[in-house]
Structure 1
Amino acid sequence: MKRIFLIAALFCGVLMVLQSCSPKGAATTQPVKRSNVTGNWILNDITFEGIPEMNVKSLFGESSYKCFIGSAWRLTNSGNGSYTLGSECGGKMQTIYWSASPKEDTFQFKKIYQGDKAKNVTEGYRMLLSSATKETLTIKTPVEYGNGTAYIVLNFQATK
């Protein structure tokens, strides 16, 4: 009988310790809303986490990631969109089909060329939707570097 009480007391003690360690009061992040991603954006800054800038040569199939600094992105609610590179990179406009998943905090897009249908395009880019408000948007593009994952961080500002 003493043994049963001892086991029950030990079990209750462990349960109390585990409950006291749970993150009840911890700050929780709100999922990113698709409506905060929809709109017109300027990619005003690109930074790097875990990878030296000189090791990044291209981005999204373009010859240089620098072509995207200052690029204009149009993301409509229907999922259609485009980005236009700066004049120093030819002012190229690329049609895209995009989506955002608040559950998974992902942003993805595929390039759509003339005559393509989005449902038939199987290649694209999947990124982490780090934050999105009506004024700013931050997307992290994961890249393999060394033995781990590094990120190219795209920082957008909303335009009117």
Structure 2
Amino acid sequence: MNKKHFLLITIFALILYSCGLSKENKDTRKTINGTWELNDVSYEGNQGYFKSTLFNDADAKCFKGSEWFFRSNNSTGYYNIVHGECPTGQRNIRWSIQDVNGIPSQFQFKYIDEKKNDLNGGYGYVFNVSSLSQDQMKLTTDVNVDGEKVTIALQYSRKAY
């Protein structure tokens, strides 16, 4: 192999390496991998009663007890609403963890169909990973309600098998 080929292969390898996930991102994805139950939807930073529709799908109360599955090897999964008074059933998603300033701290997802095709032209949802352990996860996002910031907090626990 001549020097020119060696240099090209080295540059190509560096480009591939730089596009890879950080160790922290891989660890976060590995921790999220599996089945979770959404235990609570709460509103922080403001007083009062809130009625909200989550993910352009259903009333927030419908998500209590919903099952969420995350497969880290291909970034797909689903959530399944089981509350009887709500539009029940499984919704397929593609998810990712984004690094912010080198730290894996944002969870994103968008809807996909059974063939893993995007359903909404790339539109999705972004949450901050507020806390994450092997058994608990808290995702938060800020929304504007009548000019006031309200933080929606989703509290999950890992489902036992």
Which TM-score applies when normalising by structure 1?
0.71
Give CA-to-partner distance per residue, 1:47-99, whole Å, 9 cap, x none. 11024463332111123001100000000012100000014124221000001
Q: Is the 8 A contact 2:67 2:80 kept in 1?
A: yes
SS across alignment from 1:61: coil
- Aligned-residue Cα RMSD (Å) equals 2.4
Aligned counterpart, 1:126: 126
Q: Which runs of 5+ in 1 are unaligned?
A: 1-29
Q: Is the 8 A contact 1:110 1:121 kept in 2?
A: no
Indicate the percent of aligned positions where both proteins have the same amino acid: 27
- The alignment of Structure 1 onto Structure 2 pairs a total of residues equal to 131
Aligned counterpart, 1:6: none
Aligned counterpart, 2:96: 99
Q: Is the 8 A contact 2:63 2:83 kept in 1?
A: no
Aligned counterpart, 1:5: none
From 68, 73, 77, the counterpart of 1:73: 68
Aligned counterpart, 2:80: 84
The alpha-carbon deviation at position 110 of structure 1 amounts to 0.1
Aligned counterpart, 1:9: none
- Which residue type is aligned with residue 34 of structure 1? R
The alpha-carbon deviation at position 117 of structure 1 amounts to 1.8
Aligned counterpart, 1:33: 28
Task: Point out the more displaced range, 51-60 or 114-123.
Answer: 114-123
Instruction: Classify 1:156/1:53 alpha carbon distance in 2 versus 1 (closer, same or farther; 3 Å).
Output: farther
- Aligned residue runs from structure 1 range 1-160, under 5 A: 33-52=28-47, 54-77=49-72, 78-88=74-84, 89-102=86-99, 103-114=103-114, 117-118=117-118, 121-160=121-160
Q: Which runs of 5+ in 2 are unaligned?
A: 1-23
- Which residue type is aligned with residue 95 of structure 2? W
More strand by share: 2
